[in-house]
Every structure is written in C-alpha cells, then in structure tokens.
Amino acid sequence: MTMRNKQELIQQVVNLLNTMIKVEELPSAPPPPSNDQMEMLTIKECAQQISGLSEHTVRQLVIQNKLPHIRTGQGKRGKILVPKSALLEYLRSAA
C-alpha cells in the first residue's frame, strides 16, 4: 500500500467519523489545512520531523490531550496518528 493510498484511507475514515459523531470546536483550534488532504504522522514520524523531540515527549503530549490524535486499531496495539499541522501549531504556541 503506497503512502498516497494510506492518506486517502485515513481521510475517508476521518470523514466517516465526522459524519457519525458531532465534534466540538475548540476556541484555539488552528484553521483546517487549505488542501484537501491532512497529513497524519505516527509518534515515530513526529519525533523524526522535529530535531530534539523524542517519541516519549510526543506520547506524553497525546496522553495529556495537548495534541489532537486518532488511534487506529484496538487497545494498546493501535497506532496513534497526529495531524502534522497540529504538531507544528502546538510547537509554535509552546515556543
């Protein structure tokens, strides 16, 4: 499965979830990306994108609900995906 296929699949899942549940808007939520696709990163990819950021730190931010995320799969074995734009926005606001 190519990265493009994965991103399309994730976007379809997000769209489906948005139609099934009502999402509350946070007052400080960043504006949605201008393009149709939202790039999602795993914990490892988040740490690789930003030098000096560890996987442990990203996990802690997810646990503390400081980063929006979705979990794919069941239980602790599921992957955590974080929108790249949300990660960058959080880091800008924390600086």
Instruction: Please spell the DSSP secondary structure of 1-35, one letter per residue.
Output: --HHHHHHHHHHHHHHHHHHSPPPPPTTPPPPPSS
Mean pLDDT of 14-31: 66
Residue predicted with more confidence, 35 or 5 = 5
Q: Is the pTM of this model over 0.95?
A: no
Q: pLDDT value at position 74?
A: 82
- Predicted confidence (pLDDT) per residue in 26-55, tens digit: 455 566 656 557 899 999 999 998 888 999
